[in-house]
Amino acid sequence: MSETPSICGVDLHCHLDLYPDHAAAVAKAEAARIYTLTVTTTPRAWARNHELTRHTRYVRAALGLHPQLAAERADELSLWERQLPETRYVGEVGLDAGPRFYKSLEAQKYVFQRVLARCAEAGGKILTVHSVRSAPAVLDMIEAHLPIERGTVVLHWFTGSKSDARRAAALGCYFSINAEMTRTDRGRDLIASLPRNRIVTETDGPFTKIKDRATEPSDVPVAADALAAILGLSPDEMAKVVVSNLRSLVS
């Protein structure tokens, strides 16, 4: 089966297992033909995600250990390592140095280093990476532990500096952009500086909203249209760029 069958959009970071009806959320993304990467936050969540996406054409599950949970779930790292051969996709992983989670940063770094090292050993993995207030440290760890030929990182909801973004691109990273990122001057300025061939779309649902409801994969055209306006493209041109970048990423 092709990794990128005929698709109507790309949501490269979404938490389908956090919607009220997990199975229905997967089925809805599949029916809409949105190429969706449904991330997990703990290894114990993997089995159900894997079960629901084993035979889908458009929905892929990623095996994660979220940095915000790294300290309390570090004992699940061995389980994560045992499950890694079951998937090409890894996430959500990374670092979070925001005020709520800064105290666990050393534990986060331990987990993230192990994740990167195991992905490098396996080869060919695609990782969706969280980097809140920690872009330089995340990039240092990617550079040290995941050689560019051994795996590919997609920086999810990236809020680093333009120099961080340039460094990330040099390390082979992609950037997944959601609609929230396009709503500030700083976000639009950063997005405009990104290499066009490294941009894909995401929702990060259900953590982002449209009016009073959680976003879902079928809402990715909102992000794509906002991206098109920032980059001076038509919506159709932007959609083609995103799909082309996805194909490069997974090929």
Q: Is the pLDDT of residue 1 over 70?
A: no
d(CA 241, CA 251): 15
DSSP 90-125: EEEEEEE-STTTGGGHHHHHHHHHHHHHHHHHH-SE
Q: Is the pLDDT of residue 3 over 80?
A: no
d(CA 65, CA 226): 30
| pLDDT band of 5, cuts 50, 70, 90 | low
Give the pTM.
0.96
Question: What is the pLDDT at residue 2?
Answer: 56
CA dihedral 178, 182, 187, 188 (to 10 degrees): 130
d(CA 32, CA 14): 15
| pLDDT band of 81, cuts 50, 70, 90 | very high
d(CA 110, CA 47): 24
Give the chain's radius of gyration (CA, Å). 17
138-157 residue pLDDT tens: 999 999 999 999 999 999 99
190-219 residue pLDDT tens: 999 999 999 999 999 999 999 899 999 999
d(CA 34, CA 238): 15
| pLDDT band of 120, cuts 50, 70, 90 | very high
| pLDDT band of 47, cuts 50, 70, 90 | very high
Domain boundaries along the sequence of the chain: 9-250
Q: Is the pLDDT of residue 221 over 70?
A: yes
Taking alpha carbons only, the member of 19, 10, 6 closest to residue 126 is 10
Q: Quick one: the chain helix, strand, coil %, rounded to 5?
A: 55, 20, 30
- Strands in 15-168 per DSSP E: 34-38, 59-61, 89-96, 125-132, 151-156
Question: What is the pLDDT at residue 4?
Answer: 63
Counting residues of the chain whose pLDDT is more than 90, the rounded percentage is 97
The domain defined by 9-250 carries CATH number 3.40.50.1240: no
**Mean pLDDT of the 11-23 span:** 98
